[in-house]
């Protein structure tokens, strides 16, 4: 299973953009890049996913490097409610059985 | 509203007891997962199931078994609980080919 590497923690000021990096140098051509976040005392929740092109949704944007060996989750204006652990995950879409392999994630602290 | 429900938020069991953690989803999803989450280790996959009566080992299956007799229910069994199985346990489900996995709120198990 391909592995992801993320910084353990990051800080951001409220109302400022946040760029959360993820390295996945062993990614295969069929792996989708997924991001989940886990708020305190809750299970993880889906944020965004992509394959090759950059993606936007109401929660965030995902920028994927041209060689796909890294990606960045972008929160355009951090709020206090965005304080969470963010996980970058690779999911193989062709195996027929799907496994989400989580790493340790990045703990985002948002400062008021 | 989609839902993954874990039977207990908090559970305290004695060493050597047989423990059942229940997870039910109401979305008719094929795939279900059990993870444990420990500080500094992130989420680690214990077992997953991609159909009724089908199961596959994840990364840390030792000391655990699972049961999936009905599509909506996926049970994690600790045959003989030990103190090193004290952890947060998270259940998830998703439909094959879809993008989003749904997690339960978690069960914090303490083995004394």
Size of interface A-B (CB pairs under 8 A): 55
Structure confidence by residue, pLDDT tens digits, B4-33: 999 999 999 999 999 999 999 999 998 999
- Provide the sign of the torsion angle of the four alpha carbons A90, A91, A94, A96, taken in this order: positive
Measured between CA atoms, the residue of chain A closest to residue B6 is: A43
pLDDT for residue B2: 62
Q: What is the pLDDT of residue A11?
A: 96
Q: In the prediction, which pLDDT does B110 show? A: 98
Give the nearest chain B residue to A40 (CA atoms).
B105
Euclidean distance between CA atoms A37 and A47, whole angstroms: 7
Please report residues of A whose CB lies closer than 8 A to that of B58.
Answer: 99
Question: Quick check: B73 and B82 in contact, CB under 8 A?
Answer: no
Q: What string of DSSP letters covers B48-107?
A: EEEETTEEEE-S--TTEEEEEEETTEEEEEESS--GGG-EEEEEEEE-TT-S--EE---E
Chain B residues with beta carbon closer than 8 angstroms to that of A55: none
Per-residue pLDDT band for B41 (boundaries 50, 70, 90) equals: confident
Task: Using CB atoms, pick whichever of B45, B50, B103 lies closest to residue A44.
Answer: B103
Positions of chain A with pLDDT under 50:
none
A43 touches B: beta carbon within 8 Å = yes
Compute the distance between CA of residue B102 and CA of residue A44 in angstroms, rounded to an integer.
8
The percent of residues above 90 in pLDDT, for chain B, comes to: 76
- Nearest CA distance, B60 vs chain A (angstrom): 12
CA distance A112 to A83: 11
Nearest residue of chain B to residue A93 (CA atoms): B97
Asked if B44 and A99 come within 8 Å (Cβ–Cβ), the reply is no
State whether residue A44 sits within 8 Å of chain B by CB.
Answer: yes
Report CA-CA distances (Å) from B107 to A90, B86, B87, B104.
25, 10, 8, 9
Q: A35 in contact with B at a CB cutoff of 8 Å?
A: no
- The C-alpha angle with vertex A73 and arms to B105 and B32, in degrees rounded to 5, equals 35
CA distance A30 to chain B (A): 13
């Amino acid at each position: 299973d391909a592995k992801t590497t993320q910084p353990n923690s990051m800080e951001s000021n409220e109302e400022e953009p946040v760029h959360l990096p993820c390295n996945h140098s062993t990614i295969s051509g069929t792996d989708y890049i997924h991001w989940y976040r886990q708020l305190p005392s809750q299970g993880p929740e889906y944020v965004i996913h992509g394959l090759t092109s950059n993606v936007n949704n109401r929660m965030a944007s995902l920028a994927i490097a041209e060689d796909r060996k890294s990606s960045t989750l972008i929160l355009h204006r951090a709020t206090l409610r965005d304080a969470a652990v963010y996980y970058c995950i690779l999911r193989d879409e062709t195996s027929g059985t799907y496994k989400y392999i989580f790493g340790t994630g990045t703990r985002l602290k948002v400062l008021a | 509203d989609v839902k993954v429900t874990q039977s207990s938020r908090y559970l305290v069991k004695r060493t050597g007891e047989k423990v059942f953690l229940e997870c039910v989803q109401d979305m008719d999803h094929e795939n279900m997962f059990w993870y444990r989450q420990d500080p500094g280790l992130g989420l680690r996959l214990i077992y997953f199931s991609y159909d009724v009566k089908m199961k596959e080992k994840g990364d840390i299956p030792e000391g655990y078994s699972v049961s999936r007799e009905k599509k909506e229910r996926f049970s994690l069994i600790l045959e003989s609980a030990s103190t090193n199985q004290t952890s947060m346990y998270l259940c998830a489900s998703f439909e094959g080919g879809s993008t989003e996995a749904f997690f339960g709120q978690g069960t914090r198990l303490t083995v004394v």
